[in-house]
Structure 1
């Protein structure tokens, strides 16, 4: 019986994420949950490349620390548990140097070439030895080939919602024509006063100055604004607008980066203006923060639909019929709805109910807890 238990505990998963913040972070969170299982070891593969910026190369993928035994492991988990999560790096080719029809095709061609390096990792004398692979669904090719070659089980990790995964079964025809998209891309001069690329069909647009005017003159709400200077190529604002800082009179703070989860978990945070990426959506819901939805890419529109219409933990913006933009009056109206109306109180109440449900889900016998247990049991 003791031997059987010891054997069951000695799992070691090699985890491979698609290189990108929206893929690395959720996979590491999943790996942390797996590593909480008794005796479960994770080796997390960080894909890098010489073409990344020097700043990107010197930053570790997540909060990893060097231990006295020389192995890089994750520090203490939220529950105070020391997790055996190790880190290794492999490089992939520069996508721009590969032949292909477009940037995305070249990127995935570069990712697809990493199989030999993953094989080399599996040949290393790990203790305990690798017993399974965990990899992003978007890099199924190179990781499944290796799993098959070494006869290892592979856990496919999908970093978006299940609804998006099922959506492809219901799409008959594309919503946009290539001609429309190319025409919009040619209108580059329209980019000049916007945060997001203006004119792409289906993408809402907010003007920087409209946001500034509302925050500085029309709203008394305190705010934390994370302003990425590289958000729009060739945009007029390369640093945070000084006029905003000078007019807010201590009501706000602007920065290029914040620890988003810590901010959302703070009791003073009452709303979250978000693009509705799946990571941000889950983080807001699990911390009971209602959202102001500003989707612009990929799964974000579907996520926003659930946030607003199904779960009722957020609000959306309406575009002007004349300009196709989101006017400053609309910004003011939506923020007031969240903080100054009975509707906003219901949104906050719903968000807190979801937060409580998330907490219960990870307790013993909760749904998320049981799901993790089922995955581990499937490996034995």
Structure 2
């Protein structure tokens, strides 16, 4: 009797930066013969449909085209506990509270229905590490005597995973959750030779750890310690000592970089905002002459900092594409640029609400990337050989900047502690795009890019790890 094919329930955290790699992980698994049931929140589904310009929310299935190619991917949605019209960006804490306390009940109800009715039987849960329920729900649902194994998908670097994993050690040593956190270098985390407190994720720099996000982080990593396997969107050779130390804790597979096939526009709609076509404009510019600016899909920029950056860009006289999503300052302020900016920069710069980032970074006109240091953006920038100016805003971005600037030397910091000044922006941008510091970063990034490319070759480390993971879930 033939063994049934593995069937994984896959669910991304309901934020843009988590959705993109999770969708492409699901496609990679399906291409290897794994049946996938993909779950989005109803709010993410609704926003994706609107961004794609589809006519009907209820009947829209983002994986329809993938199924036509023979991939077995089913699609479900579940409520996050809030109305579709609720502004999750403007009311961040209420949104996170619902993710913490309400979402799990809706997920459990859906999973119980699927386990009772779906074929082939579900064999594992592959969900974002930041969820607070996967191990608990997996153990409760009796698909087999052992329940559903929880496989934790970590969308950020291994360095950040291990810092969260060892929060108790940081606390014991006075570097976290103390009235006055220590300021000396941290040298006792396994696999991390040294890191400065200011390079920790923003939530680990806080002295008050009672926020809803801290509650999510604490519960999520309690769950992660009960996971059977950790999948990580990184490359072993980029973080060798950290990955080696984590492998001693539990099966830890580095399978990155996780990109759409061919590093082109995704066949599955993943964008939460309508995308503008920038390519025709880019094709009118000289190679390496355009600075791409984007602060990602989630974090907010203060009005003051945004105006300082805008003035600096204006004074630098460089060509630029600037992605300013509608809520980058606040949903209440959709037009945050200083008066006269668009008129002053007309011809050498364009401002769009959103774009297909892989297409823009792949264009030969792009010579640098002013980024918030989200992990997807870093991997995409490295893949395209585009060095970075780093202006982190929140959470993992401060630690990601350490990797880019201090460890790999493929970028430069701009500003300090989430503060920036016009003159600094203008001089840094000009030097980066036209001077020696930019040249050095472009030289270094070629070597880091080769590490990414080698990892996904047939005998590369990430491909071997992915092959082993397929064997694990098949058995």
Partner of 2:463: 369
Following the alignment from structure 2 to structure 1, what is the Cα–Cα distance between the partners of residues 155 and 452?
18
Confirm whether residue 87 of structure 1 aligns to residue 91 of structure 2: no
Partner of 1:124: 117
- SS of aligned partner of 2:37: strand
- SS of aligned partner of 1:138: coil
- Root-mean-square deviation (CA), in Å? 3.5
Partner of 1:192: none
Q: CA deviation at 1:239?
A: 6.2
**What is the TM-score when the length of structure 2 is the normalising length?**
0.62
Structure 1 portions without partners, runs of 5+: 64-69, 97-101, 182-194, 199-204
Q: CA deviation at 1:109?
A: 0.5
Alignment of 1:57-206 (within 5 A): 58-59=49-50, 73=63, 75=65, 83-94=71-82, 103=94, 104-113=96-105, 114-126=107-119, 128-142=120-134, 144-146=136-138, 148-149=140-141, 150=143, 151-168=147-164, 169=166, 170-172=169-171, 173-174=176-177, 175=181, 176-178=206-208, 196-197=301-302, 206=305
Partner of 1:17: 12
1:269 aligned to 363, 366, 371, which one? 366
- SS of aligned partner of 2:131: helix
Is the contact made by 1:264 and 1:284 (CA closer than 8 Å) also made in structure 2? yes
Greater RCO, 1 or 2 (C-alpha within 8 Å, sep 6+)? 2
Q: CA deviation at 1:355?
A: 2.1
Is the contact made by 1:227 and 1:240 (CA closer than 8 Å) also made in structure 2? no
Partner of 2:186: none
Following the alignment from structure 1 to structure 2, what is the Cα–Cα distance between the partners of residues 12 and 248?
52
Partner of 1:66: none
Partner of 2:343: 246
Q: For the structure 1 residues 57 and 341, does the alpha-carbon distance in structure 2 shift closer, same or farther, using more than 3 Å as the test? A: closer
Following the alignment from structure 1 to structure 2, what is the Cα–Cα distance between the partners of residues 246 and 89?
44
Is the contact made by 2:39 and 2:75 (CA closer than 8 Å) also made in structure 1? yes
Partner of 2:443: 349
Which has the higher Rg, Structure 1 or Structure 2?
Answer: 1
Give the total of aligned pairs: 334
**What is the TM-score when the length of structure 1 is the normalising length?**
0.76
Structure 2 portions without partners, runs of 5+: 55-59, 87-92, 182-205, 212-299
Q: CA deviation at 1:140?
A: 4.5
Following the alignment from structure 2 to structure 1, what is the Cα–Cα distance between the partners of residues 137 and 424?
51
2:376 aligned to 279, 292, 314, which one? 279
- SS of aligned partner of 2:63: strand
1:43 aligned to 37, 43, 47, which one? 37
Partner of 1:293: 390
Following the alignment from structure 2 to structure 1, what is the Cα–Cα distance between the partners of residues 52 and 42?
10
Q: CA deviation at 1:235?
A: 6.4
Q: CA deviation at 1:35?
A: 2.1
Following the alignment from structure 1 to structure 2, what is the Cα–Cα distance between the partners of residues 71 and 335?
42
Q: For the structure 1 residues 118 and 60, does the alpha-carbon distance in structure 2 shift closer, same or farther, using more than 3 Å as the test? A: farther
Following the alignment from structure 1 to structure 2, what is the Cα–Cα distance between the partners of residues 144 and 36?
29
